[in-house]
Structure 1
């Protein structure tokens, strides 16, 4: 199995990607450690985070192989390359740009472009997307997943936007291979207070929701 497929398999097995978008980059490593302690092994650090590349390098170096650290909010091939050089193990985008997918693959890491319509999802998959981020997922809802997967069951879809700790399992039941979760995991008040136990429990609750759905 090549590196790219191995990374993708580990992300899908984990069932959830924590989307971390924080103004205070200094707290981000502690947040990543808490999420990992709660069972989340895929953490996406968005480019909207201050000094994102340095943060990715720091977190990837500190967490090692135990956590798959990726980059999110990528809008160009050049940013994808910079993030991968900093240690990102996968590239997530809010939109589908073939050149970003190609750049990720050039470095043997998975590409997860954001798509919204069935045509766009299929086009991204045919362009080599390893997994398609359906975004914003709360606009289309779970019935959309079932409807799209009925004629195209080979698609690998991950909802982002509108996924909560409670409904994560419902997205898995609707056909998602994994879920992307941001604000539902990252309790701002708890982070501000340094109460990382809340994040650990949020991560555990998310894992339980996904695992219960997969066990059915």
Structure 2
């Protein structure tokens, strides 16, 4: 990797907490109550996904309410128009499940950190060497935490964020193996966006925060 690679750092709260919660709601209006519970539990980074209708339009309001307490990013970004719109709305970082150089170029131009997804060493290193803020190993549930060590052999500086199928036990394993952060969805959120108990959501979130804080 050359020394002139432009790499935007992930925002401070995300780096410090080592935990990103992936929020997939039915509607963007559903975010508020769950975010309140998550942030009360100590969550400091939430990826709001574009599979939820109205996410970008809702983001400025969410930032006004929660932006001083947590980094709010936008995920499931798959084209450059979405990169531009999410950046304009104030996203603190962007996440994509794919390896697409044009998305990284657009994010760098917009001045917003991007975490591209990949599965193979070739995909992950391509994004990392092109200036990704970190690389998202997806779907991480198909792999073990030892994959971090495997990647660090040829790519010692690579910053890895596993996503997809990461539960409480595997979150601990990935972080112990050297992952920069873990990205967690269903195992933490459960039925929170389907009328589930928000107190139970907070308790699950507190358990993940404790794991991510251990050894940080």
Give the structure-1-normalised TM-score: 0.90
Aligned match of 2:97: 94
Matched, 1:25 2:45: no
Distance apart, 1:54 and its partner CA: 1.7
Shift of residue 194, structure 1, vs aligned partner: 5.5
Contact 2:141 2:164 in 1 (8 A): yes
Kindly provide the CA deviation profile for residues 67-121 of structure 1, in whole angstroms up to 9, marking residues without a partner as x: 1110000001110110111121111000011111122122222110001111111
- The answer on whether the counterparts of 1:157 and 1:176 sit within 8 Å (CA) in structure 2 is yes
1:186-209 deviations in Å (ceiling 9; x for gaps) = 121x54445211111111100111
Question: Unaligned 5+ residue runs, structure 1?
Answer: none
- What is the alpha-carbon distance in structure 2 between the residues aligned to residue 77 and residue 65 of structure 1? 27
Bigger helix fraction: 1
Query: Which of 151, 158, 173 is the aligned partner of 1:170?
Result: 173
Question: What is the DSSP-based 3-state SS (H/G/I as helix, E as strand, rest coil) of the residue aligned with 2:168?
Answer: coil
Conserved in 1, the CA contact under 8 Å of 2:95 and 2:115?
yes
Match of 1:65 in 2: 68
- Quote the Cα distance in structure 2 between the aligned partners of 1:137 and 1:167: 10
Aligned to 1:204: 206
Deviates more, 1:194-203 or 1:125-134: 194-203
Distance in structure 2 (CA, Å) of the matches to 1:121 and 1:47: 22
After superposition, residues 1-216 of structure 1 pair within 5 angstroms as 4-5=8-9, 7-188=10-191, 190-193=192-195, 195-212=197-214, 214=215
Distance 2:195 2:47 in 1: 23
TM-score under structure 2 length normalisation = 0.90
* Structure 1: distance between partners of 2:51 and 2:194: 19
RMSD: 1.6
What runs of 5+ residues in structure 2 fail to find an aligned partner? 1-7
The answer on whether the counterparts of 2:119 and 2:137 sit within 8 Å (CA) in structure 1 is yes
Question: CA–CA distance in 2 between the matches of 1:195 and 1:71?
Answer: 25
Q: Per the alignment, do residues 46 and 191 of structure 1 end up closer, same or farther by CA in structure 2, a change over 3 Å counting?
A: closer
- Bigger drift between 136-145 and 39-48 goes to 136-145
- Provide the C-alpha distance between the structure 1 equivalents of 2:176 and 2:196, rounded to a whole number of angstroms: 34
